[in-house]
Amino acid sequence: MLVGTLGFATAVWILATTEQGLTGGALGMGGLRFPFDIGKTKANELLWLGILFVVVGAIFYYVSRVHRSPYGRLLIALGDNEPLAGSLGKPAFRTKLWLFAVGSAGMGLLGAIHGVMAHLLIPEAIGINVTLTVMVGLILGGMARTWGAVIGGVLAVGIFDIVVQSYLPLPRSWYTQAIPVLREMAFGATLVIVLLIKPLGILGDMRRDKLFRSVHGE
């Protein structure tokens, strides 16, 4: 599933960089404006930031409900042992296809909001760095918990992009050459350390924790 997703993302990136009439090619789509204007630039930005929080909150609520539903348990079963779930008559391919479609729709909506807020959409905005950041955030927080993606994403972005670039006295010449390389090195080292020490992420596995406590009467 992961290999197929990365392959599809690469195909979309190539399409975005070559189709001049559809996406603007390598130069991207510029001059994107807010669908409605309330006068001041700062007010527009705050309004769209609020819309972004509402959309993210709605996605989080939906994922939380699915995680606790029978469909969520089916997704967990497919992730743990897909052949076993398939042998029990569970529709593995259809379930993964639905999950891919819903996830892509959510990311497309957030990408559209990002383009409006930045007034620009370029192929580099959906490059490997974004994919790597998302993967590090998921693994760091814990893929088995809904809050894992949120906490992992905040840590993945906050530790490097905010702390390192804003508070460490780095030479200005590093920001164009050294910083991207250091980011990839830091993300790679973080992945290795987390997988060795906490394979299930910082938050662990909520369902297994509950099962452990119920078995031992805690």
Q: How confident is the model at residue 74 (pLDDT cuts 50, 70, 90)?
A: confident
Q: What is the pLDDT of residues 52-65, one digit of tens each?
A: 889 888 988 988 88
pLDDT at 172 over 70: no
Length in residues, the chain: 218
Give the percent of the chain with pLDDT over 70: 73
Q: What pLDDT was estimated at residue 149?
A: 82
| Most confident listed range (18-22, 85-89, 130-134) | 85-89
Q: Among 11-15, 19-23, 77-81, 204-208, which stretch is predicted with the lowest mean pLDDT?
A: 204-208
What is the rounded CA–CA span in Å between residue 129 and residue 150? 18
Q: What is the pLDDT of residues 183-216, one digit of tens each?
A: 777 777 877 888 888 877 877 765 555 544 544 4
What is the rounded CA–CA span in Å between residue 106 and residue 111? 9
Q: What pLDDT was estimated at residue 126?
A: 65
Contact (CB, 8 A) for 62 and 69: no
Closest to 126 (Cα-Cα) out of 32, 217, 6, 13: 13
pLDDT at 112 over 60: yes
pTM of the model as a whole: 0.67
Q: What pLDDT was estimated at residue 194?
A: 82
